A and B are shown apart, each in its own frame.
Chain A
Amino acid sequence: MSGHTDMVLVDKKGIRIDGRTADEHRAFKIEAGVLNNADGSAYVEIGKNKVLAAVYGPRECHPRHLQNPSKAIIQCKYNMEAFSVSDRKRPGPDRRSIEISKITAEALESVVLTELYPRASIDVYIEILQANAGTRCAGLTAASVALADAGIPMRDIIPACAAGKADGKVLLDLNKEEDNFGDADVPIAIIPSTDEIVLLQMDGNMTRREFDKAIKMAMGACHELYDVQKDALKRRYSVDCKEAEPDEQ
């Protein structure tokens, strides 16, 4: 959205620079339980994005003044590694990462049954190892799998996906070039079982009709991503459960 380019982002046949069609998302890969020392963890690849999420808790909340006597709070930290982008990213929290941490925490709060753990805190750490546009969606996707892996009670798992507009066409799951030189980017996250939206942002301009189309495409991709998320969690235990029989409890 920031720059201009002579690059043709979508060619006459409707094929994008990475060979996808307008309504095609990048390849998903999710793995749950990749870290031993965290209570729950997940690794997500969406195209060239590589994201690691870890969850600790519920545990005692420090500092004490953040405690909520009626429910648990979710503290989220989104961090981009210095090597995650082609120019070195200056390490440390900045305006952008603080914003993403906040919206991620709020999205997760809408599904986690926080009222079961008054005064506690659930800490979510999202590390972007490699970025190629759409990391907030990939981060949230990873975080919700990590929360489920940590055994934290929640209503549903939330998938997140972006849609946008580049070269005058509505596209699903923008890559870096389309994000940088395109017209708009709309990341959304949903609760798949009810289709409630828990995260919605828009950067750039679109008409109302284009927006509706983008939301519809992103919703569809979220549902596909949701199946991959569930599969990742189930796969973690499927090996043992093949032979599982209820002999003792």
Chain B
Amino acid sequence: MEKRNVKPSREVVVPGDLLDDSGNRPGENTYVRDGKTYASVLGVKNVNSNGISVIPLGGQYMPVAGDTVIGVINDIGSSNWMVDICAPYPAPLHVNEVPWRVEFGDTARYLNIGNVVMLKVLMVDESKKIQVTMNDSGLRRLEGGQIVEIPYAKVSRVIGKSGSMIQMIKNMTDCRIFVGQNGRIWIDGDDERATVAVQAIEMIEANAQSSNLTEKVKAFLEKNLPDSNEEE
């Protein structure tokens, strides 16, 4: 994904569209039939040195080991919690995977239904059984702030090239922001500034396909932040 500047073709493809028949390496969201590569999802064709793939325009988040996500506890067991991470499958969080020592049956004292947590996807096996963990630096229960949900396909736009977009929003709004790979974004900060940050995220979501988005968002933030003039 790094070398995007080498003039990739931006073409919307639908499932079944022929992408390539010259033997380029088939990448994500493609399938091969009779030596030809076809698209398997609705998305944007992406050709680079790694082969030919399709960047999806929609669809559901599919957890991958190592992703940091934001989850909501939706069920409590005696030795685990069930977390909703916007995936097609339930994600159990076992008591061994939290930074506290939890007695058997005492799970509700630490995390309760409706609590929001930052998690890491520990493992996804062949049958798509998910395991998540909180045992890593920076992972914790999120208190205060607000959650914005966007389609997961647009997360990369919110983060921007090597984090440029999110870094800019963080710096300019002075908010604490955390972006989960599953499309949940947690924002905490001064009321007015957090509202502007939320609006900026919503703006990215609405204009995810347009160019120069970082510039547009910057202009938007400069205009809408209450005291941006003194700050600059």
Contact = CB atoms under 8 A, between A and B. Distances in A.
Interface of A: 39-40, 57-60, 69, 111, 113, 117-120, 148-157, 191-194, 229-230, 233-234, 237-238, 240-241, 243-249
B204 to A, nearest CB: 10
Contacts, number: 128
A59 B84 CA distance: 12
B59 A152 contact: yes
Contacts of B171: none
A126 B212 CA distance: 40
B209 A40 contact: no
A119 B59 CA distance: 17
Nearest to B1: A249
B12 A153 contact: no
A126 to B, nearest CB: 19
Contacts of A40: 58
B76 interface: no
Contact of A248 (B31, B56, B157): B157
Contacts of A152: 41, 59
Given A60-B88, A118-B128, A148 B14 contact: yes
Contact of A60 (B5, B90, B161): B90
Given A152-B59, A153-B15, A248 B89 contact: no
A189 to B, nearest CB: 14
Given A151-B56, A243-B209, A248-B161, 15 more contacts: A60-B88, A148-B41, A150-B58, A151-B57, A153-B15, A156-B38, A191-B16, A193-B33, A194-B33, A230-B14, A244-B44, A244-B209, A247-B161, A249-B55, A249-B156
Contact of A246 (B8, B31, B56): B8
A64 B41 CA distance: 27
Contacts of A246: 4-5, 8, 10
B193 to A, nearest CB: 23
A14 to B, nearest CB: 35
Interface of B: 1, 4-5, 8, 10, 12, 14-18, 29, 31, 33, 38, 40-44, 55-60, 88-90, 126-128, 153, 156-157, 160-161, 164-165, 207-214
B128 A192 contact: no
State the main secondary structure of chain A at its contact with B: loop
Nearest to A121: B88
B16 A192 contact: yes
Given A155-B15, A244-B210, A113 B128 contact: no
B209 A237 contact: yes
Sorted from nearest, which 5 A-B pairs have the closest CB atoms?
A: A151-B59, A240-B209, A156-B16, A151-B58, A245-B211
Contacts of A229: 14
Given A58-B88, A113-B40, A247-B214, A238 B12 contact: yes
